[in-house]
């Protein structure tokens, strides 16, 4: 007897969830339209700092002073060329003892590098490629964008489940199918767009800092060779490797004047 009222209340709650995520449209560093606003920048910085603290508590850190100095040098040279709003942060860098060739950057100015990255990043320019790419995610507001899109996807899925229940369809079945669709058709394609954008922003950043943008091609050739025995995890959300190499090579040619200007201005990194 009260079922219709419950259904209406549930539907209203679902609409409320969708409306509760205050979003806004902004423009990324490459001119791409982004939907953000799921979380504020201070909240995002706090989340990044908390996750970084967890990682430091869980994973061993290198005791090799040369590795720490090497990575810190590359990060420092890159950070000096960031847009002004990102330079007031105190960037923290940690080198983790982990054989997986990986690196990451988090909101709140946190950079993590695995010792395994030295297998594929064989000089300072190749290491700068990796780190600049990861910093590119942060300064392009990708974390906020991902959170906002995930919130919207989750809200839309809840609404679909409520509508299914009202139509007599099993809402759990809708949840399973809807979750798969949201992941593959909504979240992952966005991640590929972000990866391409981080390539662009990162390669520009490394050139401004005086690192050779042509070495981005070498780095990804090394990454592909390292993952040839098995499909690398990053391929699931990254652009096609061969297409990526072509884009990096073409962009490097256009960035040579930027690189040469940086070198002429005295930006000549001596990290490793």
In the chain, where the domains are located: 22-264
List 134, 145, 195, 247, catalytic entry = 134
Q: CB atoms < 10 A from the CB of 84, how many?
A: 6
What is the structure's pLDDT at 18?
A: 42
Q: What is the pLDDT of residue 8?
A: 39
Name the band, by pLDDT with cuts 50, 70 and 90, for residue 77. very high
Angle between helices 241-264 and 215-226 (to 10 degrees): 150
pLDDT for 257: 98
- CA–CA distance, 222 with 179 (Å, rounded to integer): 35
Residue 134 designated active-site = yes
* pLDDT grade for 38, boundaries at 50, 70 and 90: confident
**162 or 148, greater pLDDT:** 148
Alpha carbon separation from 46 to 22, 53, 206 (Å, rounded):
19, 10, 27
Which pair of structure tokens corresponds to residue 166? 């009202």
């Amino acid at each position: 007897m009260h079922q219709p009222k419950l259904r209406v209340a549930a539907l209203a709650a679902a609409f409320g969830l969708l409306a509760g995520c205050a979003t806004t449209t902004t423009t990324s560093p490459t001119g791409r339209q982004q939907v953000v606003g799921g979380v504020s920048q201070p909240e995002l910085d706090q989340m990044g700092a908390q996750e970084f603290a967890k990682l430091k508590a869980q994973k061993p850190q290198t005791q090799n002073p040369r590795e720490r100095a090497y990575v810190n040098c590359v990060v420092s040279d890159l950070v000096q060329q960031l847009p002004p709003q990102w330079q007031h942060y105190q960037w923290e860098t940690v080198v983790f003892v982990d054989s997986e060739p990986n690196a990451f950057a988090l909101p709140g100015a946190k950079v993590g590098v695995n010792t395994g990255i030295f297998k594929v990043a064989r000089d300072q320019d190749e290491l700068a490629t990796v780190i600049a790419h990861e910093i590119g995610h942060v300064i392009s507001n990708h974390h906020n964008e991902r959170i906002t899109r995930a919130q919207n996807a989750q809200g839309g899925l809840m609404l679909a489940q409520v509508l299914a229940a009202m139509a007599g369809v099993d809402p759990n079945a809708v949840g399973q199918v809807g979750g798969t669709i949201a992941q593959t058709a909504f979240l992952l394609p966005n991640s590929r767009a972000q990866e391409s954008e981080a390539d662009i922003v990162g390669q520009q950043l490394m050139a401004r800092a005086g690192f050779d943008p042509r070495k981005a091609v070498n780095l990804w050739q090394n990454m592909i060779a390292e993952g040839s025995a098995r499909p690398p995890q990053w391929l699931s959300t990254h652009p096609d490797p061969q297409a990526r190499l072509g884009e990096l090579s073409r962009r490097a040619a256009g960035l040579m004047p930027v690189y040469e200007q940086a070198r002429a201005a005295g930006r000549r990194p001596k990290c490793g």
